[in-house]
Chains A and B, each alone.
Chain A
Amino acid sequence: MDLVERGSIESMFPGLRGTDWEQTSPADPAYNCIGWAAHDTMHWWWPSAHWPVGARRDTLESFTQAFQALGFGYTTNRDLERGVEKIAIYMKELIPSHAARQLVTGQWTSKLGSYVDIRHDLNAIEGDRYGRVVQVMARPIPV
């Protein structure tokens, strides 16, 4: 895997500086953060692109509907819970901008646009680019 310069990612996401994060994949234009959160690395999930279920609008409701169709429900608990998989939806200026998926370690994994996947703390990529986490959803881990 080609490693990109940490500084280039930290310059885009200053909240990563000084936190425990790492690149976990090469760049890949095939999928984005929503697909990655849904375990799909072959499609670019977005209401104006590949969107299997739910209204095709760039709204939080559309995104939560899509994840509800995958078995996720609303939660306010962002902590690691045994047997539970969580995703987090970020919004910037009232438009969904990003989603992350929780790992079994309690940290989170994100696909950054068409760029790389990273492992990170949930709040470390909040800021000018992705805004803030506005909704966490959870489902039992499929067996």
Chain B
Amino acid sequence: MHTTIPAARDIAPRDLFSALRDQWKRDTLVESSMTAIVLHPAYQRIIGMGDRALPFLFAELKREPAQWFWALEAITGEDVASDDLPFAERVTRWLEWGRQHGFG
């Protein structure tokens, strides 16, 4: 998949996250495969940002909830909200976890 997003060393973390988020959302808008969604190169680059992505991920989860749970779990190592919980409950649990850890 072609990407024009600059390397991390050439762009501020906030701008990098925004660019990767936009590309991921655009490319996976009508994708149903969770496998394809989380293996998308932009999503993987967000995971690769590590802790630097967390403030943006929690802000995004609050602003416009989406399937950010895999990234949050991969970066934090925490299993906060199982796939078997309803989406809204997963959002609530992760936002609460974020508040408890200084995000939001």
Contact = CB atoms under 8 A, between A and B. Distances in A.
A113 B32 contact: yes
B83 A29 contact: no
A97 interface: yes
Interface stretch (B1-9, B50-58, B84-92): B84-92
Interface string B70-104: 00000000000001101110000000000000000
B31 A44 contact: no
B88 A114 contact: no
A49 interface: yes
B30 A42 contact: no
B87 A46 contact: no
A72 to B, nearest CB: 18
B34 interface: yes
Contact of B86 (A30, A33, A49, A98): A30
Interface string B20-33: 00000000111111
A44 B67 contact: yes
A19 B34 CA distance: 29
A1 to B, nearest CB: 17
Interface in A44-71: 44, 46-52, 58
A48 B28 CA distance: 16
Contact of B87 (A30, A48, A58, A99): A30
B59 interface: no
A46 B69 CA distance: 14
Contact of B30 (A30, A58, A95, A115): A115
A129 interface: yes
Contacts of B28: 113-114
A96 B30 CA distance: 14
A31 interface: yes
Nearest to B28: A113
B35 A113 contact: no
B30 A12 contact: yes
A57 to B, nearest CB: 10
Given A29-B65, A30-B87, 15 more contacts: A32-B32, A43-B83, A47-B35, A48-B34, A49-B83, A51-B83, A52-B84, A58-B33, A58-B35, A112-B30, A113-B30, A114-B28, A114-B30, A114-B31, A115-B30
5 pairs of A and B residues whose beta carbons are closest in the complex:
A30-B87, A42-B86, A46-B34, A113-B30, A49-B34
